[in-house]
Amino acid sequence: MNQRLATIALCVLALSGPALSGEPAEPVTGILGAFGTEVKFLVAQLENGEERKIEGIPFWTGRLRGRRVAIARSGVGKVNAALTATLLHVHFRPAEVVFSGIAGAVNPDLKPGDLVIAERTAQHDYGTVTAKGLERKGARSPVTGERNPIFFPADPRLLKAALDAKQRVRFDPLDHGEGPHAPRVVQGIVVTGDTFIALPAKRDELRKELGADAVEMEGAAVAQVCYQWKVSCLVIRSISDLADEKATGDIRRFIEAAARNSALLVTELVAALAAPAPPAP
């Protein structure tokens, strides 16, 4: 019996790798995007890239600017995003998760190609509907029963790194019909819901009630998963439309350039994460 236990213990040690041998595991950055367009620019840059499917969902691993990464296409919507974020966490144990992609502008000062680095994210369609309207609230944790916040704050380290990284990126200009527009990057609020917003009245409501700068369909769901497991998270979105009647056509027109701009910023952020920490004073 003792011999059998010893054999099992050796197998566990062999499968566990460096973490049990005293060597710290090299950190992994998880990167998610809803569409293939949103992740293809990142996957194309991978060194020693490999693709594998987990429960049918494609994940790409390798090095991006010196950092180990795991990239996945989540699909559209909060459930798809949460499902993929869960698989990412369980199989790769990322040190941080970054969501990269496109969004509709809620802030009237934003144009296609501009970027929003989310200092906070929220689900705009979660809560209780009464005669007074939607009373927003956070979901309760299935583990502790405690209610999550309505707004999930970005990880301060990632937020600062992204704000620093924007200074080093040359973004692709977009032509809106009035000549090339040089994209600007703002720090703001991104809200998430399972409805595609193509109505100015709803867009204005999100601006008034939540202070939103951009609206999309995945970010806050990923932020909630990361909040649950205490994993650092940051959402970066590039504007593809104005969340109005022209939104569907504008996405077709601007998705490539907008997704690329988001990927450019994420790439520079990842490079910063890969850089060695400065020596302590």
Catalytic positions, please? 38, 241
Q: What angle do CA 35, 84, 255 make, to 5 degrees?
A: 15
Residue 192: its H or E element = strand 185-192
Sign of CA dihedral 39, 155, 57, 14: positive
Nearest-angstrom CA–CA distance, 7 and 19: 19
Nearest-angstrom CA–CA distance, 239 and 138: 26
How much of the chain is in helix, strand and coil states, percent to nearest 5? 35, 30, 30
User: Residue 237: what are its φ and ψ, rounded to 5°?
Assistant: -130, 140
